[in-house]
Amino acid sequence: MSNNIPENLRYSKDHEWVLVEGDIATIGITDYAQHSLGDVVYIDMPRVGDSFGAHEAFGSVESVKAVSEVFTPIAGEITEVNEGLNDTPETVNSDPYGGAWFIKVKMENPLEADGLLSSEEYEEYLSNQ
Of residues 64 and 120, the one with the C-beta less far from other proteins: 64
Q: Cα(106)–Cα(4) distance, rounded to whole angstroms?
A: 26
Q: How far is the CB of 106 from other proteins (least distance, A)?
A: 26
Q: Which residues bind other proteins (CB under 8 A)?
A: 38-39, 41-42, 44, 60, 62-65, 67, 86, 93
The answer to whether 26 and 104 have CB atoms below 8 angstroms apart is yes
Of residues 1 and 111, the one with the C-beta less far from other proteins: 1
The beta-strand segments (E) located in 1-129 are 10-11, 16-21, 24-29, 40-44, 51-52, 56-63, 67-72, 76-81, 103-107
Q: How far is the CB of 85 from other proteins (least distance, A)?
A: 12
Of residues 39 and 56, the one with the C-beta less far from other proteins: 39
Q: How far is the CB of 35 from other proteins (least distance, A)?
A: 9
The answer to whether 59 and 44 have CB atoms below 8 angstroms apart is yes
